[in-house]
Structures are given as structure tokens and as C-alpha cells.
Amino acid sequence: MKMKTTKLLLLSTLFIGSFSCTQIMEDNESSIPEHEPKANMELQVTTHDGAPFNKNESSNKRYSGSPGGPVMMQAFYWDVPAGGTWWNTVKGKLNNWSNQGIGSIWLPPASKAQNGPFSMGYDPMDYFDFGDYNQMGSKETRFGSGTELRSLVGEAHNQNMEVYADIVINHNSGGQLEANPYTGTDTWTKFNPASGKFNRTYNDFHPNLDANNDEGVFGGFPDLSHKKSYVQDWLWKKSNSVGKYYKNDVGFDGWRFDYVKGFGAWVVKDWVNNVGGFAVGELWDGNASTLKWWVDNTDRKSSAFDFAAYYAMDRAFDGNNLNELNGDMLWKKDSQRAVTFVANHDTDEIWRKNLAYAYILTHEGYPCIFYRDYEDWLDKSMMNNLLWIHKSYATGNTSILHVDNDEYIARRNGYNGNPGLVVYINNSDNWKERWVPTNWSNKKIKDYTGHSNWEPWTQGGTWVKIQCPPRSYSIWTLK
């Protein structure tokens, strides 16, 4: 929510199609040599368990039960079209998304905000107005009416998809001026929403009698005081609280918590303990240890977006040094609480997105796809192929087999009878090939991206030679 960075995407460079291997082969490299090569690389094995990703308290049956687990779609971008059409636009996409392996959608903040029909929702005013009350300049929100929102949620459930609400509880906006005895000035802290629920005054914001401040203030907006019992009751404790109304009346299945640097991790823990549902926090920090610290302080009730992986991918793919992928990331520390992503409505820094999506859709964590990447900017057949590979074969823990400036090869070790996969990423301008150890002995394998037409046999000791086209990837598993 905080900042918006954009790039002009050179779409023609993002996806490299299939190549004929014979164009670069001097001999038949798919044949099996008589002797295995000697291992000359260190094997780095992560310490995660081998089970597929398991969303806490998830009810999603179709994709949490598939081998690779679910994929999330961020179902909006900054400044989606105004005019109250967005809920219906998303609803029209659900059948296709579900068929391609999307198991959940993350919606923008749905309630009425200060800028009414023009707001993206991150300046919340009335948490209980989803486009039902004429206030802040309109009845509908930017995205549509409350009826349309509920219809969208219902259709998502019909498609066996979960729906996550973007929850902005650090700050409020759109209140009226009132004399504030704690600041000695007039502050915009008097809220009398048309819904008649969760009226607020200066007592509910910082500073107040109980607390001068909390962990962070955003942009000068009135900062909600979560230590106040009245605020806790209205946000998550009461039977008609914000959280329980979203869950029980509208049908939301989980939460994306905005700007969690602004309040204690205990808030998210208490919310989930009282309301339930999947949770992920936006802790904008590139340090994997900090992300893990925050997740642990929610008592592991919440996941976190893996900004450490995001920045590592940017340095690796755009900075032309794949050694960066050896760095620490949240998914390496706690794979079941890491939501990996390539872009979102706030930040879009990675240019070589084909490589980044190949990375997150073959590695551990809960991958999140950005709406504009899938619907507008990238090759949809490429994305659908990666989604199919993810749900079919991205299982088990991860072994990093080889890393240098240009090449990265990792193996998902499989789980519960699923063979797993080997992913080969090549960030150079030339075809590459390399011997790697697999978990398969005397088996034929193939590249399920179609970028290579090799179908080599693994040796008795499991080694095999695989290849990868320039600025692209290949993903191998049993034929």
C-alpha cells in the first residue's frame, strides 16, 4: 500500500519459447555416457519437512490437496478501473483461474474509505460499509456494491477457492475534527460511520490515557490504539466485530494484514485466535531473520510475504548473479509460513519475471501471482504451464544442486510417492547443460516446459545431463 513503483516491461524479452536442441548440439548429448561424472559441487539441503504446503486452518480442498499445494492470486493492482465494476470483473475470471490451479484470491480493502468511489481502500473509514451506504461521496466503493462483493465471494467458493480480505487496521482516515486533550490540538479522530458500528473518538487513537504510541505510525493518519479494549472488541473480539462480520456475513476465509510494522505481532495472533482463518502479514523487510522473528511472535498463527526472497530474486535475475539465490530467505527458514511473490500492487522491481516465476512456482512456500502479470503482461501459456507443474510436481523439501553467476539448479525431492522435479535456470545468453544428481535411477525424464526436446535416461547412480536455453529455464521430472 505504501509506495508504487512501476516499470515499462519489455514483454518480448520475458519469455523464451521452445528451441530445437539440435541447433546447438555438436553430438547426441542425450545419450548416456559409460561412466558417471564425479560430483564436484556442494549439496545444500534445506531443513524443511517433506510435506506439501499446509495453510493453517485452510478449508480449500481442490488445491491444498493437490501434490504441489495451492497458489494465491492477488486479484487487483494499484488504480484498477473505478466505477464499481471490479468485483464483477474478478468474478468473471474465477472459473479460468480455478481451472489453472489458483486456489485462493486476495482482494483489495473492501470497505468504504475516505476517498469514496476513487479510493483503493487503504484509507479506511467505515469497516462495515461494502458499498451499501451513501457516505464519503458515493454509495458503492471503487470496486462495486456489497451485493456484488458477496456474489464474488460466493462464486469463488463454488470454484473451491478461498478469499482473503486485505485488512487495514493500523490507521484510519476520513474522520471529523474534534478537540483532543491528549495532543492539545484538534485532530481528525471523530468517526460516526453510517453503518452505526465502531464509532471512534480521540480515546481510540494514539496518544491516549493508556498508551502514547505503538510500533509505528503511517503517513500522519490517525493511529488506532490496539491496546484499548474497545478497539479490540470492535476489530476482532465481539460477535459482530470487523473480523467476525467479514468471516461470517461476507464469507472471507482469511486475511492479508497491511503494514504490520505499525503494530505488535500479538494483534495478528489475537485476531486469528478469536476469528480464525488463514493470515499473512505485510512486513516489508528484506531480512529473513526479521521475517521469521515476526512470524514466531504471532505464535506462527500468520504467514509473512517473503520480501527476503523477493529482493534476492531481483539481485539474482536483474543483477546477473544467481549466487544471490544462495542467500537466506523466509521459505528456507519456515517454508509453511512463507508467501513468495514476484510483484504486487506496491512494488514491481523484477524485470526477468519468467525466471522469477519459474523460481517461486518450483520452490517451497505459498506462491502468490500478481494479477497484471497473469492477465496483462506475461505470456499466459507460460504462466499456465508453470501453474500445472507446480500443482503436479512441486513436492518435498529442496536441495540446491548448483549455483554460479549464470546457472541455478535445484531439486524438489518429492513426497508421498510424487517424484518431485529438477529446475534449471539459465540467466546467460547461451544454452547451458550440466550433469546433476536426481532421485531417479534408470528412468527416462523430460522437460515439461517444452524448452528442451531431450528425453534422457538417468544412470543407475541417478546422474543425468540436462540443458537449459538462454535467459530461460527448464523443469525436469519422470516421463
Say whether 233 counts as a known binding-site residue: yes
Which string of DSSP letters, residue by residue, matches 306-341?
A: -HHHHHHHIIIIITT-GGGGGS--HHHH-GGGEEEE
9-13 contact pairs (CB < 8 A, 24+): 9/351, 9/353, 9/377, 10/351, 11/377, 11/378, 13/351, 13/352, 13/471
- Say which of 258, 270, 324, 375 is annotated catalytic: 258
- The CA distance from 415 to 411, in Å, is 12
Half-sphere exposure of 434 (CA within 13 A, CB side): 27
Q: Is 270 a catalytic residue?
A: no
Task: Let me know if 274 is exposed, middle or buried by CB neighbors in 10 A (0-12, 13-18, 19+).
Answer: middle
Query: What are the Cα distances from residue 86, in Å, to 79, 111, 142, 251, 278?
Result: 11, 14, 8, 18, 24
- The CA distance from 258 to 432, in Å, is 42
- Say which of 166, 282, 314, 447 is annotated catalytic: 282
- Residue 98's region, left for phi above 0, alpha for psi from -120 to 50, else beta, is alpha
Calculate ∠ Cα 152-348-328, nearest 5°: 105
**What does DSSP assign to residue 171?**
B
**What does DSSP assign to residue 84?**
S
Q: Is 29 a catalytic residue?
A: no
- The CA distance from 99 to 160, in Å, is 10
The answer to whether the CB of 329 falls within 8 A of the CB of 289 is no
Could you tell me the three cell numbers for 292? 521469521
Cis amide bond preceding 469, omega within 30: no
Positions at the binding site for Ca(2+):
170, 233
Catalytically active residues, by annotation: 258, 282
Positions at the binding site:
170, 233
